[in-house]
Structure 1
């Protein structure tokens, strides 16, 4: 709001905005440097990848050429072997024919040996040339010898070319390709290392710049953020604001009671104060500690049996005075008391304390030995105050809504519905419930000492906060909400709200703030 921007707050706000602008500019420059580094790294990676692909393609071409040369050599070798086998068959057949022509002449000489040689030659050479004359065999032999010679020359040339190509690839090309690939890896490694070093330097620079901006080294560097915020003077701002307000009002007469200074008809009495041990408003002749209750003057501000909203409006307070007074004393002296709130106090003491609080609550000092010697008297009085409210704390109107919500078996849904019912409470009831359940939540944190868990506290206060008739202890709420059958659900409602106290009250308050 515009009318709130005045005084030292404005200067501190503007200075803090300038400081944040300087920090933002530093961050923008840092981001720009990072963007430049990213572009350079991307360009380097693209170039290195291009070189790597080219080297890889060159290596693939050499490998394919070597494979093709080896395949060609293998084919030449196969052709040479086929031609050699064919020449061998022709020679064998030729030898077989010669033996056949001279068989009769060598019959007596060769006999069985000649037949055996001829059979062997026929077995090796087959019957391919059977029935051919020696002239055809000679021409075929010449033709086969020519093919063998050509195949041999081709194989020799392919072998020489393959050996030369293999020697060039393994001795020269492959090492050069591997060096090129290593250079690509080294280039990207060195580039990354350089930019990481650059990033470290830039990051240290931005941190140092932020630090010097927030906490300047010398006065010439300006004022830091902490000093700027500490320069806000709320009291001076408020004084200036009120002076301006009074000036704008034109000097109108002040309204309301004055706390000091003479009035027109004399002196106004001091306003009464709230809190333990405040005796300024007590009559000088009234005994405060021990003594008869009849001597305590009645201030005309009853506490018990008075509507909650009426009490708070009458006393102009945000919480009932008796609630704050008793809870503070209990937290101070009874957190570790065994069975706190479950064990009742002495009937005579409870009645005496109730009467004193009802006549003049400010005159009662709950820190005195009379009451801290048995803190259960204080807890019993507080429970009695809740039971004697004309309308219970959780109100007759919302009673059935709380009970129906407590009947839900799903924990999460029951929590949500009870949260909604709590939000439906009137403002005085909501403030009182929030404060008191915060007090009970603190009691439950000391369960190891006082044996009062959340479930035990819910059993104690289920019917008390809902306004049920409490049989067996001589006290009655008189509200008549529901019946005994609702008691388990009343306890369940208090237990769930206590169990989720932070979710229902604390978190909500922080969000509101």
Structure 2
């Protein structure tokens, strides 16, 4: 039980990491919302300021034009008065229209001059003071927003790193006793079950388990005396046969719980041994045995995918039905010569199961397609920064593969290149395919999680340069 308890503890730790990560993200969201609200409030405030400032210019210009029109009207009246005659007022005084018009003209001109000066002042303040202030304020708001967003993005990166690191420590335990793999491998099902049963058995009083013996009890209606001893007669068909006594309970015994000798557990169904195994057989052996440079299972599965799976979203990423995958394995392990995946009925109309079976074939190879011997060199080549140099280095390593491995990887890469041509429908570009196939085609003898991204990068480079590395016939 200790292994399962340790596993549960590690999973609780993973859950706590997730909760802490979610809480930190929620805090970041609240801070970003507050930043956004502050920036929006500042923007609206300066929008009102700028709108009011910009309205001053047209208003002052309009007033200046009105003053100019008044000057024009007063000038016309003055011209008319100069050409006219004097008139008498009500009291008999002589009025001089020319003088009155002249005064009105001078007053209108003074108002016009004052309005021009005011308009120039308003425009000067607008261009030299208010607009620069508004632009500077908006620039400061933008910089404040960018700085706050950059800070939150840096915190987001740090949170992701911390989350991944804490999960990694919880799972691996840095090689200590809290290693999840060790905890699960230490689980002993039979010992745990026996310990669980014995724990409860020790709490209950001992009971003797054996055959129960019954005596005949005659009904009072019978006048015959009680039978002292049964007659020795052969059993008749209508009489029940004797039931074997139940054996004492044995926690290690095979059979149903609590059953006696009368309960029989059916024998397990015999496993059918492959007649001509394909899965788990080295590529060199398949080449020598079948005479095909590319295994039949690879050819048939790629044919099915190219006929029926190129437009399927998530092909090679979506898993097929386990029962279908197992049946496809049995078909190839027993009589692959009769397989024709051009007929979809032969793979149960489930192209995802065909894709999963193909990946399983590569996973079960004793030596990966890109071979253990060249694994370290593939990883080092993937670390090259220059795209062309990285492509050439990987190309050279592929040329060093054994014949069976070279032919198989060539067929698969060209097939995946055709899958990539339909990435608009199936969403599987070179990087997504490299995630699906990288650890399958290229793996170390020991688990190598730290180089997983380099595996993806190596296969991604090969897929993007498929036609440069391989000639498509």
Q: TM-score, normalised by structure 2?
A: 0.45
Larger radius of gyration: 1
Q: TM-score, normalised by structure 1?
A: 0.42
Greater helix content: 1
